[in-house]
Structure 1
Amino acid sequence: MRTWRHLADLLETHGAAALVSVHDVKGSAPRETDARMVVRPDGAFYGTIGGGQLEMKMLAIAGDMLRQGRQPARFLDQALGPDLGQCCGGRVKILIETFDKRDLQDIAPLVAAEAEESPFTVECRLDDGYVRREISSAVGDDSWTGWREVHGEARTPVLLFGAGHVGRALVLALASLPFRVRWLDTREDVFPSHIPSNARPVLMKDPEAEIAQAPPDAFILVMTHDHPLDMAITASALSRGFPYVGLIGSATKRARFEKRFRELGLEERRLRDLVCPIGLPGIVGKEPAVIAASVAAQLLQVREKSLLVIPGPHSGARNP
């Protein structure tokens, strides 16, 4: 979720908004540190801190704060079991802040950094009761006296070749997931008029150039209208060693393609990397939406395995 973009939009349109953040977590909790909600004055909101009684209570408090006007931040320490009757058993500290149009200039750098679509670290401190934030330029420097937050999303790049029925369904399935889709097709006028914001349609001229220029962590999905084109794209992708190369089709199609790939000199280890048929085993429906849901879940699984999890500056307990 683009927290600061939502917040800035609400300040422009509604004049005020609240930000509810999971500041710290001990034990089991519905969401992780740095999960957030942006709350409108009318009670509507974007994002989630985990649902249930915790979220309902924090929304009520944020609403009360907004009705009183811009005011100092509040920290609330909640034991999920004793305080809220939730079964998680952990403890969370929630930070609630209110904003109005006076804050637009201060949050503008955060809106801009968020638009880069990669995580960034923000140094925070309390100043006269309000949270002051500065984008960190010295991560690892212990001279700061407050705490650090991580903002932005790490979106995995996806190259999706083909704008047919399954391609369209897959773009919709990935719309709210942590992926950035480059959607490619050689045909004009095949892309729908409305496309999710995390997908970019591209009229493809040179498929092999697209593969050559793709980042090494990209996921490749091949489902064009043309089998020879599928073969050329897939062979090029397998030779690069991407973490995921998926080809739509049956086991028979895979066998035929593998025979040709061997003739082209592709190594056996590369052939073993090919995912074909695509999607999770056990889901056999052939409707485009079913295939798309299955593939989206598979991509999430591969993404989890490929992410290198390193404890960041927000790990561990925070103060205040």
Structure 2
Amino acid sequence: MKPIDIIGFLHNARSVVQVEITQVKGSSPRDVGALMFVSNDGIAGTIGGGQLEYMALDEARKLLKNNATSARMDVPLGPEIGQCCGGRVEIALTLMGAHARAAAVTRAEADATALPHVYVLGAGHVGRALADQFQYMPVACALVDSREEELSMSGADVAKHLTPLPESLVRDAPKGSAFIVLTHDHALDFMLATEALARGDAAYVGMIGSATKRAKFTQFAKTQSGMTPADLVCPIGAQGSGDKRPEVIAVAVVAEVMAVLTRAATETALIV
């Protein structure tokens, strides 16, 4: 669930219990600090799913039913609860007052602002399939095209930009963004890939195509300055099944991009 969904949940639910993992020993599905919010008829966030989450959900609903303010759980993640992580977690459950709810909304807003940006440059079949997948990922995805009819065919819950100058969006994108280039025109693909690579701070630059297209781009790159064609991923999703259906290509590419973005976030966190 994205931060924006948590914000909506916290604004709309009447009574909410915050469920937080406070200690982990050994293996567990989520780390310390993982949060889930529970109301009488809904949940937002996750502490890892499975039997552990079911037990915490049940405990939170009991807390709401009994008008209690807090509870604690100490759960071994073993055969006795049908999980095999082998660790142990402690969980704090707290009925949220106005101050706690406001603080949680502020945190979620900060998380939403910090989401990495993914620009899908081209709203054809594969571009729309990518938007369909990225709408569920922890990213801020934008689908970009100059063709209104193609852009209008996407029902994904992502930002949509109808523009004759997609290169301007590439130039203005935040540092660490990912760019996936798959327009209807190879010359435009080359221009947008060049713009993205020339930034020097993109987390990922990928262009749809074959090894032949990459070779042509490498030749083209020799005429350009300020870019490193070696940083270009082309073909995209190359570790996939080889299936060329848009939806299957999209799965492989989303996995590829998310792996890069997750690695970049981890490296940044270690530096900080």
TM-score normalized with structure 1 length: 0.75
Aligned sequence identity (%): 37
- Number of paired residues? 267
* 1:14-49 per-position Cα deviation (integer Å, ceiling 9, x unaligned): xx232222122122111112222222314x433322
Taking a change above 3 Å as real, the CA distance of residues 312 and 195 of structure 1, as seen in their structure-2 partners, is farther
* Structure 1 CA distance for aligned equivalents of residues 225 and 145 of structure 2: 27
Contact persistence 2:128–2:154 (CA under 8 A): no
Residue of structure 2 in register with 1:97 after alignment: 94
* Structure 2 CA distance for aligned equivalents of residues 294 and 176 of structure 1: 15
Residue of structure 2 in register with 1:8 after alignment: 11
**Match for 2:186: what amino acid?**
H
* Structure 2 CA distance for aligned equivalents of residues 254 and 312 of structure 1: 34
Q: Aligned match of 1:158 in 110, 118, 128?
A: 118
Structure 1 residue 220: Cα displacement: 0.8
* 1:80-103 per-position Cα deviation (integer Å, ceiling 9, x unaligned): 23763532121211111234xxx3
1:243 pairs with 2:206: no
Residue of structure 1 in register with 2:185 after alignment: 226
Bigger Rg over Cα: 1
1:22 pairs with 2:21: yes
Give the alignment of 1:118-129 within 5 angstroms: 118=112
TM-score normalized with structure 2 length: 0.87
**Match for 2:208: what amino acid?**
I
**Match for 2:220: what amino acid?**
R
* 1:140-181 per-position Cα deviation (integer Å, ceiling 9, x unaligned): xxxxxxxxxxxxxx4211121111111111011111212111
Residue of structure 2 in register with 1:285 after alignment: 243
Give the alignment of 1:60-209 within 5 angstroms: 60-69=58-67, 71-81=68-78, 84=81, 86-99=83-96, 103-104=97-98, 107-118=101-112, 154-192=114-152, 195-197=155-157, 199-209=158-168
Structure 1 residue 273: Cα displacement: 0.8
**Match for 1:38: what amino acid?**
F
Give the alignment of 1:23-62 within 5 angstroms: 23-42=22-41, 44-62=42-60
Q: Over the residues paired in the alignment, what is the CA RMSD in angstroms?
A: 2.6
Q: Following superposition, which runs of at least 4 residues in structure 1 exceed 6 angstroms of deviation?
A: none
Q: Aligned match of 1:253 in 184, 189, 213?
A: 213
**Match for 2:192: what amino acid?**
I
Bigger mean CA deviation after superposition, 75-84 or 293-302: 75-84
**Match for 2:102: what amino acid?**
A
* Structure 2 CA distance for aligned equivalents of residues 110 and 46 of structure 1: 12
SS of residue paired to 1:257: helix
* Structure 2 CA distance for aligned equivalents of residues 280 and 88 of structure 1: 32
Contact persistence 1:247–1:275 (CA under 8 A): yes
Point out where structure 1 has 5 or more consecutive residues left out of the alignment. Answer: 120-153, 314-320
Residue of structure 2 in register with 1:144 after alignment: none
* Structure 2 CA distance for aligned equivalents of residues 184 and 279 of structure 1: 20
* 1:49-101 per-position Cα deviation (integer Å, ceiling 9, x unaligned): 222322222122112112122x22112222223763532121211111234xx
